[in-house]
Structure 1
Amino acid sequence: MRQRVVIDCHALWERTVGQPGGLRAVQRWLRLNGIEPAEVPLHSEIVIEPSAFGRLIRYTTYLRNADGHRYTDPDNRDFAASEDRTAVLRVEPEPKWIGQGGIGGAGR
């Protein structure tokens, strides 16, 4: 898998939540790539793409205050505060996820 891949987190959740070990496999994959699954908004996308530094994962994560609590975005009170982050892809997603509900192919 060398092209750009877009993962719709909500669609992937819907596809895996009812399968034995399905959601745990997604959580394990995120953790192996240095991403805490509980901090990734369900209604967001994860993008895997090539870069000059190797393959990267671009994702959104919730922000926490000094007390460790999530907080609302000061610019938009309808949403939790979040930011975009980048991680090095250490482990590819499971091949069975590619091209099925939740993960798209190149570009979007």
Structure 2
Amino acid sequence: MSEPRIISNATYWPYIVRDPERLKEIQTWLLANGINPDDIPVDATVTIESKDPEGGQIIRHTVCLLKDGHKYEDPSTPGKLATEERTTLLTVAPPTHWGFDIPQQPAPEFARGFRLHTKDGHALDGAEFPSGRTYVIDDPHYGFATVAISVEDLLKSYHGARIEWPDDTQAAAEQDQAAPTDDTAAPEASDA
């Protein structure tokens, strides 16, 4: 069985209501499948799922229960409507163009560590912040540090130094692993 196809849920709903055409399409599709869209809570999940290995599909959805033709509060959960999960046989497939481009929150940026190798052979720990500012710990015992507005400006303070980034170390290690060792090197051809 394949993963359920989500038609609507609490995450999609704000995007659906901003697109009146999409909202109308979903309501029309639900009605075509015998489901009254007015009975479905706005934050309810509506999915299409495989019913059996032969390929039959169902629409799984939640509906508000009615008493005397009206929605009512669930006595066991004050403040919430009484609901029930139901399934309906899928008779009209949804349009293939239905999908959502939900904006993703950008991943937070963090400081990126590096080593500054001085020309006299010392390795100093440092970091570059998302703003581009950098710092290097010159003397960890006393807490002395050099701070600059960029890596380029930092290197001006350390004539002849070079920066080693974590990616550089990883790439070098991978390259060392890929290089043949003396034991595995191909034998040289003889002049025989």
Residue of structure 2 in register with 1:60 after alignment: 62
Runs (4+) of structure 1 exceeding 6 A deviation are none
Write the distance in 1 (CA, Å) between the matches of 2:8 and 2:28. Answer: 17
Change (3 A) 1:96 1:8: same
Is the Cα contact below 8 Å between 2:12 and 2:100 reproduced in 1? no
- The residue that corresponds to 1:79 in the other structure is 80
Larger RCO (alpha carbons 8 Å, 6+ apart): 1
Distance change in 2, residues 1:10/1:32 (3 Å) = same
**2:70 partner SS:** coil
Provide the rounded CA distance (Å) in 1 between the counterparts of 2:62 and 2:32. 17
TM, length-normalised to structure 2: 0.46
> What letter is aligned with 2:51?
S
Mean Cα deviation higher: 6-15 or 83-92: 6-15
Q: Distance in 2 between matches of 1:11 and 1:27?
A: 18
* Structure 2: segments with no counterpart, 5+ residues: 103-192
Instruction: Note the aligned Cα RMSD (angstroms).
Output: 2.1
TM-score relative to the length of structure 1:
0.77
| Residue in structure 2 matched with residue 104 of structure 1 by the alignment | none
- Other structure's SS at 2:60 match: strand
Q: Which structure: larger Rg?
A: 2
- Find the aligned partners of 2:16 and 2:72 in 1 and give their Cα distance: 28
Percent identity (aligned): 34
How many residue pairs match? The answer is 99
Deviation at 1:99, TM superposition (A): 5.1
